[in-house]
Amino acid sequence: MSASTPVQRPDHRDLQRRVVRVLAAGQVLGGLGTGATLSLGALLITDVSGSPAWSGMAATASTLGAAALAVPLARLAQARGRRTSLSTGALLAVLGGGTVVAAAALGSFPMLLVGLLLMGSGQALNLQARFAATDLATASTRGRDLSLVVWSTTLGAVTGPNLFEPGEHVGRALGLPPLTGGFVISAAAQALGAVVFLTGLRPDPLLTATAAAAAETPDGPSAARPAGGTALLRTSAAARRAVLTVAASHATMVALMAMTPVHLTGHGASLSVVGLTISLHVAGMYALSPLFGALSDRFGARTVVLAGQALYLAALLTALVGAADTTLVTVSLVLLGLGWSASVVAGSTLVSTAVAPAQRPRLQGVSDSLMNCAGAAGGALSGPVLARVGFDGLAAALLVLVLVVTLAQRGPRAADRT
C-alpha cells in the first residue's frame, strides 16, 4: 500500500464527513483560547510583572508549550486515538486557564508563565486537529478536508482577541482580578471543546484508519511497530522534505509579521492602522485556506507549496521596496498571510502522505513541534535584524524561501499528487 493512498471503505465516507464537522466545531472553540492568550496574555503579564518588557513572553510561553506538548499528544493519539488526544489537550488548556487566573490573584509571575505554557496545549491540539481531518480522507479530498478544519480556526481566533470587554464583565461578576475574565471564557470554551471531541469522535477516525490499513497489510512492519517521529525523519526523505517545508514556511511568516507592529508604530502609524494590518494578515492566513486545499487536491500539494513560495517572494519584495509606505507594508502582510496559507495547508498535506498510516501521528507531532520552534526562532531573530538593518532587512528571509523551494522541488512526482 502506498503511503499516500489511505484506505477508505464506503461506510467510512459518512464517518469522515462527521469527523470534519466535529473537528471544525472544536477548532472554533479552541481558537477562542488562542486568540485570548495572544491579546490578553501580554497585558496580564505586564500587569503581574510590573514591566512591559515581559509582555512578549505571553506568545513565547504559549508557543513553547505548544511545541513541548505536540509530541506527547501525538504519541497519545498513536496509542489511544484522536478522541483521547484532542480532549486531553483541551483539558490541559482548561487547567492552564485556571492556573493563569490563580496566578493573577496571587500576583505570581512564575505561576502565570506555567499557566500560559499549559494553554499552549490549545495551539497543539488545533494543529493536530487539521491532521485528524486526513485520517479517513481520500486522495481526492484530503487537502480540502484539512483546509476546512484550518479555516474554521478563523472564527475563534478573530473572536478571541475581542474578549476583553465581555471578559471584564465576567471577571467582575465572579470577583476575579482584572484581565482574567477572558481566560475564564476561553477555559470554558476549551472545556466545551473537550466534550465535543469526546462525544463526537466515535468511532475514532485514527483508530479506524489504522485498523483498515492493518487489515490490508496484516503482516506489515509499520502496522506492528510504529517508528518514532525523529526516526522517520532520518529514514524518509519525503518526511524530511514535508516537515522542513512546513517549519521553514512558518518561520518565514513569523519573522516578518512579528516586527511589523513595531515598524509601523516607529513610522508614525496609529494603533488602529496596526490593528487593521494584522487583521488583514490573519484573514489572509485563514480565509482562503479551503481554496488552497482544493487546489492541492486538483493540482498536487507540491505545486501549491511552490505557489505559496511565490506569494512569499512577492510579500518580501514588497516589504523591501515599500518599508516606509504603510499601504505597501499592509499589502506585504496580506501576501504573507496568503503565502502561509498555501504553504502550510499544502505542506501539511505532504506530511500526511509522507509515510504509512500507522506512522503518521508521530511524524505529525514532530512536524508540529518543529513548526512551533521554527516560529519562535523566526520571531526571536527578527528583532535583532530590525534593530541592525531595518525592516527591509527582514527580506533576508529569502534564504529560507530558497531552501523551501529547493526542498519542494525534489522528490518523486507521485508524492506530489495527493
Can you give the pLDDT at residue 367? 92
Burial of 10 (0-12, 13-18, 19+ CB in 10 A): exposed
- Statement: residue 50 has pLDDT above 80: yes
Whether 231-418 and 1-216 are alike in CATH topology: the answer is yes
- What's the predicted TM-score (pTM) here? 0.79
Can you give the pLDDT at residue 406? 63
In the structure, what pLDDT confidence band is assigned to residue 257 with cuts at 50, 70 and 90?
confident
Convert the pLDDT of each residue in 133-188 to its tens digit.
Answer: 999 998 888 999 999 998 887 776 666 656 667 877 888 899 988 888 888 988 99
Convert the pLDDT of each residue in 293-326 to its tens digit.
Answer: 999 999 999 899 989 988 998 888 888 888 788 8
Can you give the pLDDT at residue 222? 45
Higher local confidence (pLDDT), 409 or 275: 275
Amino acid occupying residue 28: V
Which of 251-255, 323-327, 368-372, 374-378 shows the lowest per-residue confidence on average (mean pLDDT)? 374-378
Convert the pLDDT of each residue in 56-89 to its tens digit.
Answer: 677 778 888 989 999 999 999 989 999 999 999 9
Give percent of the chain with pLDDT exceeding 90: 35
Check: CATH 1.20.1250.20 for 231-418? yes
In the structure, what pLDDT confidence band is assigned to residue 6 with cuts at 50, 70 and 90?
very low
CATH superfamily of 1-216: MFS general substrate transporter like domains (1.20.1250.20)
Domain residue ranges in the chain: 1-216, 231-418
Q: Which of 361, 83, 98 is nearest to 196 (CA)?
A: 83
Can you give the pLDDT at residue 140? 87
Packing angle, helices 326-353 and 237-258, rounded to 10:
160
> Mean pLDDT score of the chain, rounded to an integer?
82
Q: Which of 25-39, 327-341, 398-412 has the highest mean pLDDT?
A: 327-341
Which of 1-10, 16-25, 314-323, 330-339 shows the lowest per-residue confidence on average (mean pLDDT)? 1-10
User: What b/e sequence results for 269-298 when a residue is b if at least 16 CB atoms lie within 10 Å of its CB, and e otherwise?
Assistant: beeebbeebbebbbbbbbbbbbbbbbbbbe
